[in-house]
């Protein structure tokens, strides 16, 4: 799933180049979901679902293998939104610019709180795009709150 797809980046592009996967484009703004639906129809893509809504509203309703996000929110907020939507071992791929390392350091507490298994910086696109893109890749573990639900007394 692509959180905050906007005009379709990166989710629509992923859906075009990876016809073997199903991509959910999540976007709260109506005019943007209408645009995305028009794109899906014009491009005749049958592996895309356009969903209108906010990431934080989907917890407990949907589970995904991978969540991508570009230019949507700082990493600590993205973790709060995305981790409850990922299966154990699923990945958050956040496309970040030059502040990626700083955001990763600043999100340390949230990484622990959300039960992330690993978090790393990855650069991709060497020799294809200049500068290469910097991603933060976070692998979801079992979130502590999911692993040990609070008992009501």
Judged by the rule CB under 6 A, the positions of this chain that interact with ligand SAM are: 3-7, 9, 26-29, 32, 54-56, 70-72
Q: How far is the CB of 92 from ligand SAM (least distance, A)?
A: 13
Taking the least distance from each CB to ligand SAM, the nearer of 7 and 147 is 7
Instruction: Report how many helices (DSSP H) and strands (DSSP E) the chain contains, helices first.
Output: 6, 7
How many CB atoms are closer than 10 A to CB 82? 31
Q: How far is the CB of 31 from ligand SAM (least distance, A)?
A: 10
Q: How far is the CB of 10 from ligand SAM (least distance, A)?
A: 7
Taking the least distance from each CB to ligand SAM, the nearer of 24 and 111 is 24
State the residue for tokens 């996000």. Answer: 69
60 CB-near residues (< 8 Å, 6+ apart): 84
Taking the least distance from each CB to ligand SAM, the nearer of 13 and 43 is 13
Tokens linked to 41? 């129809």
């Amino acid at each position: 799933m692509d959180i905050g797809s906007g005009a379709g980046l990166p989710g629509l592009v992923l859906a075009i180049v990876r016809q073997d996967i199903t991509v959910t484009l999540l976007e709260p703004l109506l005019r943007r979901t209408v645009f995305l639906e028009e794109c899906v129809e014009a491009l005749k893509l049958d592996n895309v679902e356009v969903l209108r809504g906010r990431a934080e509203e989907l917890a407990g309703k949907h589970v995904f293998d991978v969540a991508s996000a570009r230019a949507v929110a700082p990493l600590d907020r993205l973790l709060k939104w995305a981790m409850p939507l990922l299966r154990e071992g699923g990945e958050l791929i956040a496309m970040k610019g030059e502040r990626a390392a700083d955001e990763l350091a600043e999100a340390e507490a949230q990484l622990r709180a959300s039960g992330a298994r690993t978090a790393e910086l990855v650069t991709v696109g060497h020799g294809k795009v200049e500068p290469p893109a910097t991603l933060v890749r976070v692998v979801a573990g079992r979130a502590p709150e999911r692993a040990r639900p609070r008992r009501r007394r």
